[in-house]
């Protein structure tokens, strides 16, 4: 029995968790990830979080203490602590692709942007030390990737075009999601993790609070949603580009200096759904 079993959980929190978990469960069922699999995974995560975030100062975190904290049976605690768990004993998913990093740099480094802060056309090959597509790719990949290979792939995907003067033009907005599932899954995990972590920090009452705001309206026609979606995307991209440029400049300034061990994530999203679909699924309107 957990030491928290006698305390009734907050119904407001349970309601919020139910709403939060529904799209997660929908995703799990879609990819045929069953409840027993997730249950085992959740035990491992409970133990990992309890060990990392709830240590007892000056004392060893015993199996009994972990069992009390998490409600995971001591037998399972021992098994999961001291035996390799095939579910969680996997390597961390790879970070964002070289493509995403090159695009982010193209839209942030001043030598690759025009006076309006937009990605300027770049000569394909480096010449006389001038910024070029080749120098951009080399700066990001540390010469681990040939610029020609990336250019060919981007032309195939219509990310860029090459004009008659051998200048490369960026044809897509920054941070477009990749078609590759692994990369989408990587950003899904990291983006949603950081948003939930910020909200959990605020809900627990930790100070200072993180910025976490949203806009909600209902009783709108589909054409109004399209107008709002277009406006949201335009404004969000403007903010993301500006923060991307500032972050890259500060990273260059801070790199290698004492205390330069902080990270941050800023993002945006837009979601809409028919109110009728909510009613049919038994969900209440917000």
State pLDDT tens for residues 244-278: 989 989 998 999 999 999 999 999 999 999 987 66
pLDDT in tens, 116-125: 778 899 999 9
List Cβ neighbours of 51 (8 Å cut-off, separation of 6 or more). Answer: 61, 66
Residue 286 binned pLDDT confidence (cut-offs 50, 70, 90): low
DSSP 238: H
Say if CB 150 and CB 101 are below 8 A apart.
no
Between CA 70 and CA 49 the distance in angstroms is: 9
More confident residue, 88 or 199: 199
Mean pLDDT of 38-58: 91
pLDDT in tens, 58-72: 788 899 999 999 999
Between CA 23 and CA 222 the distance in angstroms is: 22
pLDDT attached to residue 93: 45
Between CA 167 and CA 160 the distance in angstroms is: 10
- For the purposes of burial, counting CB atoms within 10 Å of the CB of 212, is it exposed (0-12), middle (13-18) or buried (19 or more)? exposed
Its pTM stands at 0.73
Q: For 136-148, give one letter per residue: b (16+ CB within 10 A) or e.
A: bbbbbeeeeeebe
Is residue 87 pLDDT above 60, yes or no? Answer: no
pLDDT attached to residue 2: 45
129: alpha, beta or left? (left if phi > 0; alpha if psi -120 to 50) = left
Biggest alpha carbon–alpha carbon distance for the chain? 74
Tokens (6 digits) for 111 = 């030598």
Q: DSSP for 27-85, please give it.
A: HHHHTT--HHHHHHHHHHHHHHHHHHH-PPTTS---HHHHHHHH---HHHHHHHHHS--
How far is CA 199 from its chain centroid?
14
Is residue 52 pLDDT above 80, yes or no? Answer: yes
How many residues are given for the chain? Answer: 286
Residue 135 binned pLDDT confidence (cut-offs 50, 70, 90): very high
Of 124, 127, 120, nearest to 105 (Cα)?
Answer: 120
Residue 285 binned pLDDT confidence (cut-offs 50, 70, 90): low
Between CA 169 and CA 113 the distance in angstroms is: 12
Residue 157 binned pLDDT confidence (cut-offs 50, 70, 90): confident
Mean pLDDT of 212-236: 96
Between CA 95 and CA 85 the distance in angstroms is: 23
pLDDT attached to residue 84: 57
Mean pLDDT of 214-230: 96
pLDDT attached to residue 281: 61
Is residue 233 pLDDT above 90, yes or no? Answer: yes
Between CA 143 and CA 135 the distance in angstroms is: 9
């Amino acid at each position: 029995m957990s030491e928290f079993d006698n305390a009734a959980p907050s119904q407001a929190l349970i309601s919020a968790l139910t709403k939060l978990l529904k799209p997660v469960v929908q995703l799990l069922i879609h990819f045929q990830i069953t409840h027993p699999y997730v249950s085992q995974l959740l035990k491992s995560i409970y133990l990992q979080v309890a060990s990392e975030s709830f240590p007892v100062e000056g004392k060893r975190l015993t199996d009994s203490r972990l069992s009390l904290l998490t409600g995971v049976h001591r037998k399972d605690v021992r098994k999961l602590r001291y035996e390799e768990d095939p579910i969680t004993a996997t390597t961390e998913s790879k970070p964002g692709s070289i493509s995403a990093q090159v695009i982010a740099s193209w839209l942030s480094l001043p030598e690759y942007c025009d006076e309006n802060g937009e990605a300027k056309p770049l000569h394909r090959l480096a010449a006389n030390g001038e910024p070029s597509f080749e120098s951009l790719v080399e700066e990001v990949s540390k010469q681990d990737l040939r610029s020609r290979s990336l250019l060919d792939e981007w032309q195939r995907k219509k990310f860029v075009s090459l004009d008659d003067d051998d200048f490369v033009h960026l044809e897509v907005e920054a941070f477009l999601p990749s078609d590759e599932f692994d990369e989408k899954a990587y950003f899904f995990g990291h983006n949603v993790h950081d948003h939930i972590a910020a909200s959990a920090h605020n809900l627990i009452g930790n100070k200072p609070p993180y910025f976490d705001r949203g806009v909600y309206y209902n009783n709108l026609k589909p054409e109004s949603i399209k107008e709002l979606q277009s406006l949201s995307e335009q404004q969000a991209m403007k903010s993301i580009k500006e923060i991307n440029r500032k972050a890259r400049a500060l990273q260059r300034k801070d790199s290698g200096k004492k205390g330069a061990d902080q990270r941050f994530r800023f993002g945006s999203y837009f979601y809409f759904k028919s109110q009728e679909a909510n009613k049919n699924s038994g969900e209440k309107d917000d």
